[in-house]
Amino acid sequence: MAENRNNKAGLYVISGPSGVGKSTITREVIRRCEDVYLSVSATTRPKSEQEVHGRDYWFISREEFEHGIEQGRFLEWAEVYGNLYGTPRDKVEQRLEHGGNVLLEIDVQGGRQIKQARPDAVLIFIMPPSPEQLAERMYKRGRDEKEVASVRLGGAEKEIEQAKGWYDKWVVNDDLEKAINEVIDIVHS
Ligand code: 5GP
């Protein structure tokens, strides 16, 4: 059932290691909460077959991305595994001005930039139940080559370390439904 509550608008960030299930959680939060808008990031990463331009990401060239940086078009941006990722500023600011809640699914470097620019933003970190389970999920997902997956796994611990002291809420995804509800409660509290 869709939930819609008239709370104060806010900016929320969801981060977590690759493969932790944060995209699934984010998708469900958006589906269940009509008052939450998901920001679509821009990236220079190649599009996978399942992904759709404008839905999953705005897939753009590095040149176009760098031009966007110069023009101040990103609220935050970061280089992740050799590709650039950024949050388009205009749509997020418009939504916030009109009293909407905005959710960003971005990495920790981006989350920290958001916190510095907007200290009232709520940063949520999704934790894996264990490193072993995270590795298993990443290989099963099969989107990455094995080498890429192992680089990403190595990045998980680093990301958790970088999040400490910055992130406000820590949600362990040991049970998907529970994790989704925890995030919804944070957004609506
Ligand atoms: P993926 O390639 O798996 O979709 O994303 C790789 C990483 O980039 C994930 O941790 C994801 O959260 C992060 N990411 C996606 N969009 C953005 C963005 O706009 N800004 C930042 N800083 N990170 C992003």
Q: Which CATH number fits the domain that encloses residue 67?
A: 3.40.50.300
Ligand 1 pocket, mutate which of 18, 87, 106, 144 (most atoms under 8 A from CB): 106
State whether the beta carbon of 87 lies less than 6 angstroms from ligand 1: yes
Quick one: residue 72, left, alpha or beta (phi over 0 = left, psi -120 to 50 = alpha)? left
Residue nearest to atom 7 of ligand 1 (CA): 107
Bridge-based pairing of strands 42-43 and 36-38 is unpaired
Nearest to 80 by CA among 128, 42, 115, 52: 42
With vertex at residue 86, the alpha carbon angle to CA 50 and CA 177, rounded to the nearest 5 degrees, is: 55
Nearest to 114 by CA among 26, 12, 34, 183: 12
Question: What is the count of structural domains for the chain?
Answer: 1
**Per-residue pLDDT tens listing for the chain (189 residues):** 444 444 467 999 999 998 889 999 999 999 999 999 999 999 999 999 999 999 999 999 999 999 999 999 999 999 988 999 999 999 999 999 998 999 999 999 999 999 999 999 999 999 988 767 777 776 676 665 666 666 666 778 888 999 999 999 999 999 999 999 999 999 998
Give the number of the atom of ligand 1 that is nearest the alpha carbon of residue 41. Answer: 19
For residues 163 and 12, the answer to whether their CB atoms sit within 8 Å is no
pLDDT of res. 129: 86
Q: Identify how many contiguous H helices and E strands the chain contains and give both numbers.
A: 7, 9
Instruction: Say how far apart CA 17 and CA 23 lie, in whole Å.
Output: 11
Residue at 127 is within a domain: yes
pLDDT of res. 155: 75
Residue at 62 is within a domain: yes
Residue at 1 is within a domain: no
φ, ψ dihedrals at 79, nearest 5°: -100, 120
User: Taking the model in full, what pTM does it have?
Assistant: 0.86
Residue at 4 is within a domain: no
Domain of 154 in residue numbering reads as 11-187
